[in-house]
Structure 1
Amino acid sequence: MNKSVLVSIAFAVSIGTVYGQGPVEKVEKITVSPGQVRTILSKTDIDGCMGKEAVVLTVDGKPMLVGKKHYHPGDEFIYLTEGTLTLDVAGKGKVTLNKGELLHIPGRVVHQAINPDPDKPFNVVTFGIFEKGQPDTTLVDK
């Protein structure tokens, strides 16, 4: 299955999960680092894409947060709903998102979330197409 189809599936699953008619059941809440909380909203197998799952989550980060470097086992799409967020992406440098902006990070590319605002937290909705059975986030020491 080509990449544009996978992206379309991820987007459709995310919108349906986050903005669907019924309430969203929070699957798992994880504190990644002090001041950064991830809430996994959905992990869904993708029909026709053996070994792939769509993962939808939110991330809340406190002001002046410098998150841990990490990567994911597949493509991730980050949509900023509140605040400002700078992502330090390997091979790309720092990319700053403002409310309403979206960023795609390819699978296994190391990145780090930074909140440059001293007063306001940030919130993102992320969705990804990940390898099923792999950790959805792998921290990097360097």
Structure 2
Amino acid sequence: MNLRKIMMLTAALALSASRVFAHDAAAEVITPVMKQAIPEIAGKNVLMATVSYKPGQASEAHMHPGSIFAYVLEGHVTSQLEGSSPKTYGPGESWYEPPGAHHLVSKNASATKPAKLLVFAVAGDGDPVKLPIPH
């Protein structure tokens, strides 16, 4: 991937994240890794990013317009989708979130150690990766 594409991806993900986290200075840190169009699905892209949580940090409840695949790189993360029980995942474990699922809990399970995820998201052109749950 050339530098221009990396910079464009970084700006797009940062803008998307800033819309969600504009009022939350304690929000998790989302770092873009790559963006790739999916040739066999017009208008869809794969986005990869790391999500870093400080000890005890949690995300606001949210949803994703596209499929999400999450893989724990370090630490332990507790995740709960609406209709299911919370589950804590450790390094090397992963989960899937279907499009539109309400992600009620996403938090670092430790009060003393950081946690980091690798997230693989499918998103449409111009779609944000993460949205607040509508009320």
Structure 1-normalised TM-score? 0.75
Q: Is this contact kept in 2: 1:54–1:128, CA < 8 A?
A: yes
Q: 2:58 aligns with which of 66, 83, 102?
A: 66
CA distance in 1, matches of 2:100, 2:27: 24
Q: Which amino acid letter does the alignment assign opposite residue 139 of structure 1?
A: P
The Cα offsets for residues 60-103 of structure 1, whole Å up to 9 and x where unpaired, read as 00111121111111110000000000012112221210111010
| Counterpart in the other structure of 1:115 | 108
Q: 1:51 aligns with which of 3, 24, 43?
A: 43
Q: Which amino acid letter does the alignment assign opposite residue 120 of structure 1?
A: K
Q: Structure 2 stretches of 5 or more lacking a match?
A: none
Q: Is this contact kept in 2: 1:68–1:140, CA < 8 A?
A: no
- Relative to 1, partners in 2 of residues 1:119 and 1:141: Cα closer, same or farther, differing over 3 Å? farther
Larger strand percent:
1
| Counterpart in the other structure of 2:69 | 77
5 Å matches for 1:1-142? 25=6, 27-28=9-10, 29=14, 30=17, 32=21, 33=24, 34-111=26-103, 112-140=105-133
CA distance in 2, matches of 1:60, 1:138: 18
Please say which of residues 32-41 and 106-115 is displaced more in the overlay: 32-41
| CA RMSD of superposed structures (Å) | 2.0
Structure 2-normalised TM-score? 0.78
CA distance in 1, matches of 2:27, 2:67: 25
CA distance in 1, matches of 2:64, 2:92: 22
What percentage of aligned pairs have identical amino acids?
A: 26
Q: Which amino acid letter does the alignment assign opposite residue 79 of structure 2?
A: L
The structure 1 segments of at least 4 consecutive aligned residues displaced by more than 3 Å after TM superposition are 29-33
